[in-house]
Structure 1
């Protein structure tokens, strides 16, 4: 556990396709303390990158509300959202059941979490 992190954090979960670019974009915001990548939604109890199925790649963003407003997170989300992308990254979907693209939001937690410290991301 990070002993220097503030204790009065709030969290939001966003899904915009590949989590690496999204993690970097949100992690670079002043006031973001920690990001965690994982998978949201879907039916498999323990999804993995190679067997993503009907899950969405998602990022949990923990932030200090005294330094960063939730509306700033929404602004970053909408600046990254591209409605022209093909629905739901079909390469991860069973062909007959590809759901519509998930736009993300402040949903429940992530499954198959992988915690990442720092702000560096990896391109997809």
Structure 2
């Protein structure tokens, strides 16, 4: 299993409210038992808000998961996935890249600096 952290910003205080509302009912084509998140290899996903508008996302995925490849290919699985992405990043986006993010992903992949579940020798505790 792999674990990743990502960060992005919401565009406004209104976007914070709408983002929370939308995430109370994520379409089944995305987050359901047979949704795209599972299909691309994710096992868990959590998103946290650092006020006023910064989001932190942690995902756990299978060993074959590649964020750039798999988040990109997710858009072709079902029209609901593209519609969701358009709400987040489209013409009137809820999300914006963090200043300095020059990567290919909208969400900036964070560097892991510590993992308590792994000892100094790299072995699972």
TM-score bracket for this pair, using the shorter chain length: 0.3 to 0.5
Q: Which has the higher contact order (CA 8 A, sep 6+)?
A: 1
Alignment TM-score, normalising by the size of structure 1: 0.41
> If the length of structure 2 is used for normalisation, what is the TM-score?
0.40
